[in-house]
Amino acid sequence: MDTNAFLARQPIADARHQLVAYELRFVDPNGIGDDASVGITLIDDVLCDLGAEWPLKAKLAFTNMDGASLLGDVATLLPAEKTVYEILEPMHFSPELVARIQSLKQLGYRFAFKDFVAEAEFEAILPLANYIKTDGKAMLLPESKDLLRKLKKNPSTKLIAENINTPELFRLCKELGFDYFQGYYFTKPATASTSKPLNPTQTTVVELMDKVRAGEDIRKLEELFKRDVALTFKLLRYINSAGFGLNVEVQSIRHAVSILGLQPLYRWLSLLLATASTNPTAPALTRTAISRGRFCELLASYHMGREEQDNLFITGVFSLLDAMMEAPMETILDRVIIPEPVAEALLGRKGPYGPILALVEASEMGDATQITRQAENLILSPQQVNTAHLQSLAWVEQLGIDG
């Protein structure tokens, strides 16, 4: 389907910051209409480009749904066991519509309703909802207890707090008993104004990265890896994952270097640095950082060479290091030797890599105007951007990242 719409996403996490789902939607500065069938068809088109298997593995996909689309054939396009249809607005739940929801639920589809609990008609169909979404900020209001009491009428319905953009709001909604949380807190939590010391694993990885950039002998790299057996195990697990696509099993660091070379090894060390965070939001944040790196790399593959693709992978992963390592970006870059174009992109979204990182960040935020502007400047079509976006999410699932 030809369109100018771009895929946007927002993570949904549980109380332990483990990602359980993504809300997928399409944005277009010119508008693609209110017909949910357009967005569902677009998601189906992108999924078809990735093959028959559900690319997000255990993760669910929440996507918008309206009454007309619900009654049409488009409602069965996406895989039932992986799809949650999100009804955004109060609508007239006719007997026909209720019967359709019930039949779709029997097929395995799940439904999320917004918290339009004031409507008597809505309260009557509340048992049909698998999830209820409500604005987390509403929990700051005095009447929030009454709202929660209504939302919890059906104990089998899970509650999702939206617009969770601060740690304070996350803690409040967690204490109030919400099951899941959605918002930018999980992709860009507040960065500390002062530096925290590196943990032992981070220290080892930073030292390894510096030695790789300096072209040190493999024996010196092996000595550092021997300090942290878990680090060696992690690296070999990632390299041998389906996401890397090697035809032979890599069994040692020396073997990895001989197969990969130093530049790709540096790229994988950047991944290890991302996964070494002890930040409470690390599970969700790490996945975002790594998918961001892969997204940058895939976008670069349309017009750039292999070395630039590797550098853009590092750019994407490192773009969240300030949040993961709880330190200002400038301080982090003083500790790690990186190529100058990567530093330019990280500090000011400038240089040759800055526009690609800006496009990836705009895609996460759902900023249609910025996505369109950056994609046009980079000579990338919506289809190219959308496919790379979903491929990047799928790739993280193939790596076996913890959390």
Query: What is the tens place of the pLDDT at every residue in 15-41?
Result: 999 899 999 988 887 765 456 777 788
End-to-end C-alpha distance for the chain, whole angstroms? 35
Per-residue pLDDT at 224? 86
The HSE-up count of residue 129 (CA atoms within 13 Å, CB side) is 27
Answer whether residue 192 shows pLDDT above 70: no
* Domains of the chain, start order: 6-186 (3.20.20.450), 200-399 (1.10.3210.10)
DSSP state of 328: -
**Under 8 Å between Cβ of 61 and 22:** yes
Burial 6-20 (b: 16+ CB within 10 A, else e): bbbbbbbbbeebebb
**Under 8 Å between Cβ of 114 and 133:** yes
Per-residue pLDDT at 215? 84
Q: How far is CA 379 from the centre of its chain?
A: 24
**Under 8 Å between Cβ of 359 and 369:** no
The structure tokens listed for 299 are 């976008």
Answer whether residue 387 shows pLDDT above 60: yes
Q: Which residues contact 29 (CB under 8 A, 6 or more apart)?
A: 4, 368, 369, 372
Answer whether residue 122 shows pLDDT above 70: yes
Give bridge partners of residue 6 from the DSSP assignment.
27
What is the share, in percent, of the chain residues with pLDDT greater than 70? 91
Q: Where are the alpha helices (DSSP H) in 28-143?
A: 36-49, 67-71, 95-107, 120-125
pLDDT tens for 217-276 read 888 888 888 888 888 888 888 788 876 777 788 888 888 777 777 878 888 888 888 888
Residue 33, phi-psi category: left (phi > 0), alpha (psi -120 to 50), beta (remainder)? left
Give the orientation angle of helix 229-239 with respect to helix 262-275, to 10 degrees.
120
> Which is higher by pLDDT, 161 or 140?
161
Per-residue pLDDT at 272? 85
Answer whether residue 282 shows pLDDT above 90: no
Dist. CA 168–CA 12, nearest whole Å: 17
> Which is higher by pLDDT, 96 or 242?
96
Dist. CA 16–CA 59, nearest whole Å: 15
The CA dihedral of 219, 222, 227, 231, to the nearest 10 degrees, is: 160
Per-residue pLDDT at 341? 95
Overall average pLDDT of the 294-317 stretch: 95
**Under 8 Å between Cβ of 67 and 95:** no
Overall average pLDDT of the 160-175 stretch: 93
**Under 8 Å between Cβ of 161 and 180:** yes
Answer whether residue 199 shows pLDDT above 60: yes
Answer whether residue 402 shows pLDDT above 80: no
The helix, strand and coil proportions of the chain, stated in percent and rounded to the nearest 5, come to 55, 10, 35
Kind plus residue range of the DSSP H or E element containing 362: helix 354-365
Dist. CA 265–CA 262, nearest whole Å: 5
Q: Return the number of other C-beta atoms located less than 10 Å from residue 41's C-beta.
A: 18
Give bridge partners of residue 10 from the DSSP assignment.
23
Per-residue pLDDT at 180? 97
- Model confidence, pTM: 0.88
Q: Which residues contact 78 (CB under 8 A, 6 or more apart)?
A: 40, 43, 44, 47, 61, 63
Mean pLDDT across the chain: 86
Per-residue pLDDT at 177? 92
pLDDT tens for 62-85 read 998 888 888 888 899 899 999 999
The structure tokens listed for 184 are 């930018």
